[in-house]
Amino acid sequence: MNQSELIYALSTLTALKEHVPDTVYVAEKYIEEFHNVLDALVCATGSNLDRYRIPEDEIHPIVTSFSPKRIRAGHLVGGTKFTKGKFGERAFLMMRIDAVLKSFQLSMSSGERSIGFSA
């Protein structure tokens, strides 16, 4: 295990958690950064962290406006408009970030636990 890479990746993940915008949806760049941190953790530890990745079908454009379709002056108007970029739910991303941090917290503290009294 590469200790300095592990520290860098976990500190980056903690910073990401603290700086993700407090909105319902977050831009794809935050999800990409999360995936980059997962890749760094894999390099540092050799662990398989694929289960924590945000699935591609959770990242998509979101609706910006909607109006019923109708015919005006011989043309069909209205419909749904979407963002140009992709977004994911902030709550889902935060859940995955917390899961990774908790997983490493538990694995690091498991070797330090002792049962009973010490003199």
Q: What is the rounded average pLDDT of the residues 62-78?
A: 81
Q: Which pLDDT value is given to residue 75?
A: 76
Higher pLDDT, 66 or 102: 102
pLDDT at 86 over 50: yes
Binned at pLDDT 50, 70 and 90, residue 72 comes out as: confident
Q: What does the alpha-carbon distance between residue 37 and residue 35 come to, in Å, rounded to a whole number?
A: 5
Q: What ranges do the domains of the chain cover? A: 3-58+87-109
* Both structure tokens of 119: 């003199």
